[in-house]
Structure formats: C-alpha cells, structure tokens
C-alpha cells in the first residue's frame, strides 16, 4: 500500500526556518517524482515545489524560489522541504504527494498534510 | 506562468443530476491537465489525468475532455459524497499550477 506521511510542521516566527519531511512507503521511491503542495486556511491548492525521481531536477513556484529547497534521500525513501526566511503568507497545510511517474508532475497519492504557522 | 481559470465558482445541484465544470488555461497545456476532488478536511484525490484518463479506482461517472486551453470535467449521477471542491492542475510546464477550484454543493 502506497503511503506518504508528512512531519515537521509547527509554529515559527517570521524570518525563521523549518524543515518538513515526508516518509514514503509502498512503492519504488526513486522511480517517481515528488512534490509539495500547500493550502492556506480557507484557500485553494498552491503548488510549491517538485523534484524528479533521481533528484537531479527541481522546480519551484516563484513565491518560494530562493527561500525553499526541496531535496530527497532515495536511500531512506524520504522527501524534504527546507523553508527559510518564512513569512506570514507561508502559513498553510503542506501536503507531500507522489508523482504518477518519474517525470510526471501530476500526483496520485497524497499525505494528510502538516500544518505550518508563521506568526510572532 | 500558466494561469488556470475555473468556472463556475460554485455549483448547487441535487443527487442524480449532472455537473459540468470548466477549466481554461492562459496558454496551451496540450493534454497535460489533471483534475482532483478535495472533500472537506481531506487531502485531494486524483480523478483524471491526461485530460481524459480516469485514475485508478475512479468510477465512470467522472469523465474529462478537452485539449489545448479548454477542458471540462463532467460528473454524471451526482452522489452526496461529491460535495467537494474540484481543482484542475496543469503539468505541461513548471510552475505546475492549480486552478482556484469549483465548489460543488449537493443538496
């Protein structure tokens, strides 16, 4: 059974940093792209970042480029999102999701999300 | 950046009726268009990819069509569980944007 489980969310002050993790199981992790998608309270889905199966190619939304870094550890079946210089507008539930193929950036399995609150 | 526009914003229908949801892209995304359903308090679920292919386990009540810039998600025989927000997403080029969503209320 495919599972993705996010962790690492919490309360952080503006300007602070947070590292999200996503533990994956039930599939050959290195063969699939992975992504982070966020949802601010009462708002729609916002794509944040994605990474290819090998980790060699990364993509970012303009709103997080230069502040967030996506990485993956294929030996540990884990995806990370390092978030620096956090702003109030980064407050959201962050979802980890599995790409349907190594180079496909639509997402067939989603975690339940981890909440991030940026506030003083 | 490819901007996706969804219409209508909200759709109020009765069980058994048919829903037609629209997604329009600001530039061509070929057939690289997916649809998701998000029920309240839950994570999104993939319904359609490649504009018209149903994801695993999705009933044939759900169908997608379109290519280029204009896409449609049709849901026949609406069920109470279809009360949700439906999002389209393009994956033709980064950033892989989502539309703002269409809320479907089943009354």
Any CB–CB contact under 8 A between A27 and chain B? no
Of A47, A108, A112, the CB nearest to B96: A47
pLDDT class for A9, splitting at 50, 70, 90? Answer: very high
| Among the listed residues A45, A26, A13, the one whose alpha carbon sits nearest the alpha carbon of residue B4 | A45
Of B44, B49, B101, the CB nearest to A110: B44
Q: State how far residue A59 is from chain B, nearest Cα, in angstroms.
A: 7
Checking DSSP bridges between strand B33-38 and strand B84-90, what pairing results, if any?
Answer: antiparallel
Of B38, B46, B56, the CB nearest to A106: B46
Q: What is the mean pLDDT of each run of 10 residues along chain B (107 residues)?
A: 97 96 97 97 97 96 98 96 96 96 95
Q: Exposed, middle or buried, A36 (CB in 10 Å: 0-12/13-18/19+)?
A: buried
Say whether pLDDT at A47 is over 90: yes
pLDDT tens-place string over residues A48-84 = 999 999 999 999 999 999 999 999 999 999 999 999 9
Confidence (pLDDT) at A101: 81
What does the pLDDT average to over A29-39?
A: 96
Q: For A98, name the nearest residue in chain B, comparing CA atoms only.
A: B46
Residues of B in contact with A1 (CB under 8 A): none
pLDDT tens-place string over residues B52-80 = 999 999 999 999 999 999 999 999 999 99
Binary contact (B98, A106; C-beta < 8 A): no
Say whether pLDDT at A7 is over 90: yes
Any CB–CB contact under 8 A between A58 and chain B? no
Residues of A in contact with B56 (CB under 8 A): 108
Q: State how far residue B22 is from chain A, nearest Cα, in angstroms.
A: 16
Binary contact (B44, A95; C-beta < 8 A): yes
How many alpha carbons lie under 13 Å from residue A46 in its C-beta half-sphere? Answer: 18
CA B12, B27, A97 angle in degrees (round to 5)?
65
Confidence (pLDDT) at A102: 77
* Cα dihedral B33/A111/A103/B52 (nearest 10): -30
Query: Is the peptide bond between B37 and the residue preceding it cis, with omega within 30 degrees of 0?
Result: no
């Amino acid at each position: 059974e495919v599972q993705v489980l996010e962790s690492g969310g919490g309360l952080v002050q503006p300007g602070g940093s947070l590292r999200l993790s996503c533990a994956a199981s039930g599939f050959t992790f290195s063969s699939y792209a992975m992504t982070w998608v966020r949802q601010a309270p009462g708002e729609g889905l916002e794509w944040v970042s994605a990474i290819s199966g090998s980790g060699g190619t990364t993509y970012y939304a303009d709103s997080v480029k230069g502040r967030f870094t996506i990485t993956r550890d294929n030996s540990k079946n884990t995806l990370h999102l390092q978030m620096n210089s956090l702003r109030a507008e980064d407050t959201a539930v962050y979802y980890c999701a599995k790409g349907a193929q190594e180079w496909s950036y639509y997402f067939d399995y989603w975690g339940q999300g981890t909440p991030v609150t940026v506030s003083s | 950046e490819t901007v996706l526009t969804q219409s209508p914003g909200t759709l109020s229908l009765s069980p058994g009726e048919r829903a037609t949801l629209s997604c329009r892209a600001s530039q061509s995304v070929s057939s690289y268009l997916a649809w998701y359903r998000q029920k309240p308090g839950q994570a999104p679920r993939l319904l359609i990819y490649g504009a018209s292919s149903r994801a695993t386990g999705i009933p044939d009540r759900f169908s997608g069509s379109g290519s280029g810039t204009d896409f449609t998600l049709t849901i026949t025989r609406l069920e109470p569980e279809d009360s949700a927000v439906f999002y389209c997403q393009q994956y033709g080029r980064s950033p892989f944007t989502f539309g703002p969503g269409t809320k479907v209320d089943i009354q």
